[in-house]
Amino acid sequence: MKILVANLGSTSFKYRLFDMETEQQLARGGIDRIGEDAESNCVVEIGSHAAKETKHIPDHAAAVQMCLDQLMHSDTGCLNSVDEVAAIGFKAVFAGKLSGIKIVNEELLQAMENLADVAPAHNPPYVRAMRQLQASFPKIPLVAALETAFHETIPEKYRTYSVPYQWTQQYEVLRWGFHGASHRFIGTRMAELLGKEDAKVISCHLGGSSSICAMLGGLSQSTSMGMTPQSGLPQNNRVGDFDPFALRLVKRLSGKDYDELLDELSTQGGLLGLSGVSNDCRDIEIAAANGNEQAQLAVDVYAADIKKYIGQYLAVLNGADALVFTGGIGENSDTIRSKVCEDMTFAGIELDSDKNSSTREEGKISADNSKLQIWIVPTNEELVVARQTAKLVQN
């Protein structure tokens, strides 16, 4: 069985194709600038073969068609026909109560549309693309793996906000949590690496979006993102945790309305807003190293917030076996990892600085006498979604 896993942005489409008998990745690729006036770069890697074409791609249906054409190329392709694709799985974000692994149907699409307020950067492009794909490829089942499902094991005391309880019951205002596929992958992989099914693991997914998750035996016990993916740690351009009452003051002083202010917090906040330099951690680290004080502040705030969540989760789990770094920043930034682990020996967290700066792939980076093992583990959200999609279509 072959499963295509799609990762959508408003103008981009990234995918991986898996053979589920072996769980091997057969191909990966991506298409950018969808729907723009410019030509799109359509890149594909099939085994050791890599190719790139440029072409105008008007919408996501055309992007999927382009990807299938590349995968079915007579000389280099790995598919003979579209019928070989058993399903397309999506790492979808938020549909409220409709959580878990779902066939994409009108009920799901409407639920995602109704919650576009809550996930403005994620839900609208997914709904648009899913509708286009339903129309263009009616024979291929579309499956949504909702990010929130993994966090349904969080105890009520850690999921409930201290809002009027009616908000929780009637409007489902609670800590839903996101990045489910990534944290699930880390939980499963760490059980293998530690040789321990009931391991206590703190998973730090640090990337464009960042979240931390406390897991016991691979089950989520608490996570930093709450009702929306705008919360928790500072995100690339989204605010992270924040006191909503500041809005009343800023509204009066700026003359902007609440919608404008919320848009600003979800597009001009986070690392971008803090640093004034970029939403990309690499640029911020370079600016900080060159003496830009605001960029240095952004690095310091980000690392300090990660550290505070680790402290919380050591308390939630009553200690931990391992601390894991994953995601674009977690896997690549030795600066952030070392700042996060600074002065944490009291908690049994001690980095080996050579391993921290030299490890590029999966590897243990803790000092020999560190009580907690510290690991870099590249995440594989797409494989988790492929497994879940295959299971649903098999049933």
Judged by the rule CB under 6 A, the positions of this chain that interact with ligand ADP are 207-209, 236, 280-282, 285, 327-329, 332-333
What single letter denotes the amino acid at residue 221?
Q
Structure tokens at 122: 């994620």
Q: How far is the CB of 208 from ligand ADP (least distance, A)?
A: 3
Q: Are 261 and 245 in contact (CB under 8 A)?
A: no
Residue 381 sits at the vertex; the CA angle it makes with 353 and 124, to the nearest 5 degrees, is 120
Any binding-site annotation on 308?
no
CA distances from 274 to 147, 235, 237, 279, 294 (A): 27, 10, 9, 9, 7
Closest CB to ligand ADP among 127 and 281? 281
The contacts of residue 81 (CB under 8 Å, 6+ apart) are 72
CA distances from 237 to 180, 223, 234, 297, 303 (A): 21, 20, 8, 15, 16
Q: How far is the CB of 379 from ligand ADP (least distance, A)?
A: 8
Closest CB to ligand ADP among 60 and 200? 60
Structure tokens at 93: 């974000």
Q: How far is the CB of 282 from ligand ADP (least distance, A)?
A: 5
Closest CB to ligand ADP among 109 and 118? 118
Question: Concatenated DSSP letters for 45-94?
Answer: EETTEEEEEEE---SHHHHHHHHHHHHT-TTT-S-S-GGGEEEEEEEE--
HSE value, Cβ hemisphere, 13 Å, CA-based, for 114: 11
Residue 28 sits at the vertex; the CA angle it makes with 24 and 33, to the nearest 5 degrees, is 160
Instruction: Classify burial at 339, counting beta carbons within 10 Å of its beta carbon; exposed 0-12, middle 13-18, buried 19 or more.
Output: middle
Structure tokens at 192: 């293998």
Instruction: Residue 360: count other Cβ atoms within 10 Å of its Cβ.
Output: 9
Q: How far is the CB of 206 from ligand ADP (least distance, A)?
A: 8
Structure tokens at 147: 């990010």
Any binding-site annotation on 28?
no
Rounded CA gap, 365 and 356, in Å?
A: 5
Position closest to ligand ADP via CB: 328
Any binding-site annotation on 331?
yes
Q: How far is the CB of 393 from ligand ADP (least distance, A)?
A: 25
Any binding-site annotation on 77?
no
Closest CA to 84 of 20, 30, 173, 170: 20
Closest CB to ligand ADP among 68 and 148? 148
Any binding-site annotation on 53?
no
Any binding-site annotation on 123?
no
Q: How far is the CB of 232 from ligand ADP (least distance, A)?
A: 13
Q: How far is the CB of 264 from ligand ADP (least distance, A)?
A: 20
Closest CB to ligand ADP among 221 and 278? 278
What single letter denotes the amino acid at residue 102?
K
Any binding-site annotation on 282?
yes
Closest CB to ligand ADP among 220 and 332? 332
Q: How far is the CB of 297 from ligand ADP (least distance, A)?
A: 16
Closest CB to ligand ADP among 48 and 290? 290
Q: How far is the CB of 79 from ligand ADP (least distance, A)?
A: 26
CA distances from 138 to 57, 112, 135, 231 (A): 20, 20, 6, 36
Closest CB to ligand ADP among 209 and 359? 209
For the sheet with 211-216, list strands across it: 219-223, 211-216, 200-205, 322-326, 373-376, 363-364
Closest CB to ligand ADP among 285 and 321? 285
What are the binding residues? 7, 14, 280-282, 328-332, 381
List residues forming the annotated binding site for Mg(2+): 7, 381
Binding-site members for ATP are 14, 280-282, 328-332
